[in-house]
Amino acid sequence: MTTASTSQVRQNYHQDSEAAINRQINLELYASYVYLSMSYYFDRDDVALKNFAKYFLHQSHEEREHAEKLMKLQNQRGGRIFLQDIKKPDYDDWERNFTAIMSGDLTTIMSGD
């Protein structure tokens, strides 16, 4: 593995800003991953809520676009992109949360039980 070379365009770009942008990139990619999981949960044959699936797939793409824009910014400013592993979503089966949303029981969702 090679070390990152010093950028020729970097000027007045603090390392803390670069690190914060990298953290945000990873958060955007995680959000995209969660929305993708939700989309394909709602697309399953036993759930079959196609409009929910379509909505969450759109949200997933939007979050990924945010990450891509931040990566472009990082390159334009002379920063370096350091991606982290994307954490697995906390849920694989979104039924419990979906049921709580549909019943208006936000305390169930917020408690994480």
Question: To which residue do tokens 């070379």 refer?
Answer: 5
pLDDT class of 10 with cuts at 50, 70, 90: confident
Going from N- to C-terminal start, the domains of the chain cover: 15-100
Is pTM beyond 0.85? Reply is no
Q: Do 86 and 30 contact (CB within 8 A), yes or no? A: yes
Question: To which residue do tokens 């949303």 refer?
Answer: 101
CATH of domain 15-100: 1.20.1260.10
pLDDT for 25: 98
Query: What does the DSSP assignment read for 32-50?
Result: HHHHHHHHHHHTSTTT--H
d(CA 11, CA 6): 11
Judge whether 68 is annotated as a binding position: no
Reduced DSSP (H G I as helix, E B as strand, rest coil) percent helix, strand, coil of the chain, to 5: 60, 0, 40
Judge whether 66 is annotated as a binding position: yes
Q: Max CA-CA distance within the chain?
A: 56
Please classify residue 63 by burial: count the beta carbons closer than 10 Å to its beta carbon, then call 0-12 exposed, 13-18 middle and 19+ buried: buried
Rg over CA atoms, the chain: 18
Q: What is the DSSP letter of 89?
A: P
Q: Dump pLDDT digits (tens) for 48-85.
A: 999 999 999 999 999 999 999 999 999 999 999 999 99
Judge whether 65 is annotated as a binding position: no
